[in-house]
Each structure stands twice: as C-alpha cells, then as structure tokens.
Amino acid sequence: MDGIDTLKARYLAAISAAYDEASIEEVRLAALGKKGEISLKMRDLGQMDPAQRQVAGAMLNLLKDEIDAALRAKKMALGDAALDERLRAEWLDVTLPARPRPRGTIHPVSQVMEELTAIFADMGFAVAEGPQVESDWYNFDALNIPPEHPARQEHDTFFMHRAPGDTRPPHVLRTHTSPVQIRALMAQGAPIRVIAPGRVYRMDMDQTHTPMFHQVEGLAIDRTISMANLKWVLEEFCRAYFEVDKVELRFRASHFPFTEPSAEVDIRYSNVGGQLRIGEGDNWMEILGSGMVHPKVLKAAGVDPDQWQGFAFGMGIDRIAMLKYGIPDLRAFFEADLRWLRHYGFSALDVPDLAGGLSG
C-alpha cells in the first residue's frame, strides 16, 4: 500500500511535537478515531482482492500499533514531566520545624470531675449515676423535703410540662444529685460508699450561679459511721484537691431536710495580692453542706435506720473549680469561648493521679 511510510512519519512527528494531553488527543483522533485517517484506510480493505487485503491489512495493523504505542509513550512522558514540575513547585524543606496542630482542651469542669473521682476512689467511694429528669418522689419526698418547702415551688425548680388531666407523678429537672443516692441505696443497700457527680438545675443566675451547674454529693452508710468520719473524709478531700499539706475546716450548725444533724463547712483561707491561699490566714469561706443522713431518708430507701447510719455531703463542682484555678466568673464555664477554653483548659494527657499530682 502506497504512502504507509509517509503516513507513519507524519504522525510520529505530530506525536513528538505534542506538548500536552489535549494535543495528544487531537493526534489520536486524527489517526485512530472512528473517522481517523488510518481507520478509514482499514475500511478500504474490503474493496481489495484477498491477496492485496492480506498484505495491506498487515501493514495497517502494524502502523496502528506503532502509532498507538507512540501515543502512550508520549502521554506517559508528559505525565512524568508534569509530576517533576509539580514536585519542584511543591518542594518542602523537611528540616524546618512543623507547624503546631490545633488541639482541643479538657474543660475545667470535666477535669475537676476526674480529680474528684480519683480522690474519693482512693478512699473507697464508687461513682453512681442517675437520670437528670426525676420524679418529685426521688427529688423531694424520698429526701424528706415536705410539700410546703420553697424548693418545691416553680420559682425555684424546673417542672416538666404535663398535659391537662395527666395523672402521672410530676417530674422535674433534678435540683441536686441526692436522688442518685436514693437510687443507689435502693439498688445496693447498706453498707455503701458512693459519690454522685453530675448536672443539676435551679432557677438562679448571676455571677456565681447559673440555671444549670455541676454538683457532687457523697454518701457513706455503715453501722458505726459518725460525724468524726465525715470530718476526716472532708479534710482529706480538701487537702488532696487543693494540693496543700494541711487544711482547717469549720463546721457550723445548719438545717437540711435530708440530714440531722446538719452542718455547713467553711475552709480557712487568705487572699494575698489577689491570690487565694487555702489552709492559711484568718478568713473563712463556705464550700459545702453536710450532715448525718436523716432516718426518714434511710427508710424511704429501704434501709433500717435502727441498724445503719451514715453521712452525706454536697458541693458545687463549678465553685471549687473556680477556687482552685482562679476562674472569676461562673458564667464563662458555659459560653463556649475558645480563648477561655485554651487559657483554662487542660491537656488530654493531664490525667489526674494522686501519686503524680492531680493537676500535673
């Protein structure tokens, strides 16, 4: 077949001159596409006699393979050249220091909860949990809080909506974690030692109060537990939590429906140049409430008060976090300000440990 060598030379030259994938595709279509020059010549084979067709067919197939191989090679060469250019443009000096990656922080409330858990676990207290929406029996009645108590009014407690005619018991957003103590006593019985950390809800909001905050309560029931045991537990907790060698607590007589006798607990402190120092000075600060569990509370939980007795205490987790870490405003705990979180937050590796130090 005349012109095969000329056709081959022309297309190989065109392939060699191609400078990108688009120009290679143009050459391919001109030569091997459905209406390409070589493809049209392949169609003409049917008009030849068998002897000519055999010779011309072999020559055209060989040309087609050579052009196709040249196209593939050129395409690969252009790809390699583009990769080399990209690598030169994206060259990176790996000896330079790496950019610091953004990292999250542990919220102070979560950190303090872990610190509390570590301290009380060392004294044999387990962690108990319960629902945040409680019936008024668990939240009030079982804790010896009478119907006329101010805490049971709508100006102090969040009551869940009930449709007219609904005869189910009223439910509330729990106002303390004491219902968890009732549930733990009913499930486990005595003896028992638990703490109950978690969210609680009250109708209050200012610089030191929010409608939702965090609280931890403790409960210890046994046959011979006394106020002396309560005093030792609270002193050991404060010493470990504030990481000081000694603390001094003052118990003031008070009244809580669920404990008898009841006491509010103050801690000695000083304020030097705006820095709070726990365990020294002439000032006193209230930090928690406590007392011996009321016999009616034990009866409500199915525990015989003639055989068992014990103590309970409760404190605000947000408040003691503010005291330890110098946080001035409680409302900032709930504002999701990344700057505040970076300043007061903790590394995920700062796992509280009594042996290694609670706060790193």
How many CB atoms are located within 10 Å of the residue 303 CB? Answer: 21
pLDDT for the residue 17: 87
pLDDT (0 to 100) of residue 334: 86
199-224: average pLDDT: 86
State yes or no: pLDDT of 324 exceeds 70.
yes
Q: Work out the percent of the chain whose per-residue pLDDT is above 70.
A: 94
Give the separation between CA 212 and CA 89, rounded to whole angstroms.
55
d(CA 142, CA 60): 98
Grade residue 155 by pLDDT with cuts at 50, 70 and 90: low
**Which tokens belong to 201?**
């809800």
Angle, vertex CA 81, rays to CA 79 and CA 82, nearest 5: 65
What's the mean pLDDT when you consider all of the chain? 87
Give per-residue pLDDT as tens, 285-322: 999 999 999 999 999 999 999 999 999 999 999 999 99
What span, in angstroms and rounded, lies between the C-alpha atoms of 211 and 202?
5
Q: 272 or 177, which is more confident?
A: 177
Which pTM does this prediction carry?
0.68
Which band of pLDDT confidence, cut at 50, 70 and 90, is reported for residue 355?
A: low
- pLDDT at position 65 is 83
